[in-house]
Amino acid sequence: MSLASRETEEMAVRDVINQTLDEEMERDERVYIQGIDVHGRGGTSNILKGLDEKYGRERVRNTPISEVSIVGSALGAAATGMRPVVEIMYCGFLGVAGDQLLNQVAKMRYMFGGKLDLPLVIRTKNVMGANAAAQHSQALHHWLAAIPGLKVVCTSTPEDTKGLFKAAIRSNDPIMLFEHGSVYNETGQVPVEDYTFEIGEAAVEREGEDVTVVATQAQLWNALEAAEQLGEEGISVEVVNPRTISPLDTETIAASARKTGRCVVVDDTPLSYGTQSQIAADVSEEAFFDLDFPVQRLGIPDVPTPFSPSLENEILIDTDDIVDAILTLA
């Protein structure tokens, strides 16, 4: 990424989220936040702190513990002139709002003949490695991405968080915005200027020649670390950040795989029927004759996340796992 010519500042992901929401709320008074304890506590991860005082209870709205209506009422508000940003505390609680997501949010515009805009952002977080047990610890973006009508974004870095949040809030389609608990405190350079990243566009985070690693969120950070380590051993790794899971930027991902001839996909969703399989299938279709090896997938084994650290560590993907996967292709 070339940030060379732009003014940037060093920020943590959590502060980028706060600042970006602040800027968007200031820019457009139709933008408001609703969710559990968003006022006072500042949301599940205290990220929204300060927005309550600035915008008051009308625009930073505490809801009852009612996920069906947290999502559904935001949909109704979006259909009638507001631009809600909803917080669902942990992605597992999306299950409570299941029908609203599956049958209402995703289908409303299409069923109505494409005649209404639904500027709705649903923020939630993936969590792994926090010893939070199965209901509070999982990644679910693949689940929502399987529903036509939902755009699904995964934020990973301070820079993409700003660009993707702004794009999502300004979009006239419903966007599922997945954050990841493990990257909130990661820091990096963020352009100071106002900018958006197109929903549906991937980014090459690090250029390389030998192997492509496609990685999201916490795994993007692990992949960059793996690339660094292997670089010292003379293996040149290209790291691609999909940014959007649906629609997926197959073109950018496949172009990288074509260039390197080897591709590893790594993501914190369960391995089967997940993000990894979709990306692997797309790469295989697009770049088959340029690949030297079958696309490799790394994901969470197909079990709910166990509580005990010894069990959870067993199923987590870490930098070493990515290094090993790359080495099997080298």
Partner 1 sequence: MSEQADQRAQPTDEERVEMLETMLRIREFESRMRDNFADAEIPGFLHLYIGQEAMATGVCQVLEDRDYLTSTHRGHGHCIARGLDTTKMAAEIYGKETGYCNGKGGSMHIADVEAGMLGANGIVAGGVPIATGAALSSKMRGTDQVAVAFFGDGALSEGAFHESFNQAAIWDLPLIGIVENNQYGEMSGIDEQHPPSTHDDLTIYGEPYGAHREQVDGMDVEAVYDAAARAVERARHGEGPSLVECVGYRFEGHHEGDSEFYRDDGEYEHWKSKDPVETYPERLIDEGVLTADEWAAMQADVETEIDEAIEFARESPMPDPQQAYEGLYADGGDSR
Ligand X SMILES: Cc1ncc(C[n+]2csc(CCOP(=O)(O)OP(=O)(O)O)c2C)c(N)n1
d(CA 261, CA 130): 35
Bridging pattern class, strands 211-215 and 244-246: unpaired
CA dihedral 284, 286, 292, 298 (to 10 degrees): -40
Choosing from 24, 39, 67, 179, the catalytic residue is 67
Q: Given the complex with partner 1, which of 111 and 134 has the nearer CB atom?
A: 134
Site residues (CB under 6 A) for ligand X, limited to 28-57: 36
Q: What is the per-residue binding string for ligand X in 152-191, x denoting contact by CB under 6 A?
A: ----------------------------------------
- The answer to whether the beta carbons of residues 268 and 209 sit under 8 Å apart is no
- Nearer of residues 182 and 244 to partner 1, judged by Cβ: 182
CB count in 10 Å sphere of residue 43:
25
Estimate the share of the chain in helix, then strand, then coil, as percent rounded to the nearest 5.
40, 20, 40
Q: What is the DSSP letter of 101?
A: I
309 binds, among partner 1, ligand X, none (CB under 5 to 8 A by kind): partner 1
What is the closest distance, in whole angstroms, from the C-beta atom of residue 102 to ligand X in the complex?
17
The yes-or-no answer on residue 180 being catalytic is no
3-state secondary structure at position 266:
strand
Q: Are 244 and 276 in contact (CB under 8 A)?
A: no
Residue 53-92 contact track with ligand X, rule CB under 6 A, x = bound: ------------x-x---------------------x---
Whether 232 is catalytic is no
134 binds ligand X (CB under 6 A): no
303 binds, among ligand X, partner 1, none (CB under 5 to 8 A by kind): partner 1
Q: How far is CA 120 from the centre of its chain?
A: 16
- E strand or H helix at 88: strand 83-88
End-to-end CA distance of the chain: give it in Å, rounded.
Answer: 26
Report CA Rg, the chain.
Answer: 19
- Which of residues 96, 102, 133, 146 is near ligand X by CB under 6 A? 96
Which residues bind to partner 1, rule: CB under 8 A?
Answer: 36-37, 40-41, 62, 64-68, 92-93, 95-96, 130-136, 271-272, 301-304, 306-315
Residue 255 binds which entry of ligand X, partner 1, none, CB below 5-8 Å type-dependent: none
- Can residue 93 be called a binding residue for ligand X (CB under 6 A)? yes
**Which residues belong to the active site?**
67, 136
Applying CB under 6 A, which residues contact ligand X?
A: 36, 65, 67, 89, 93, 96
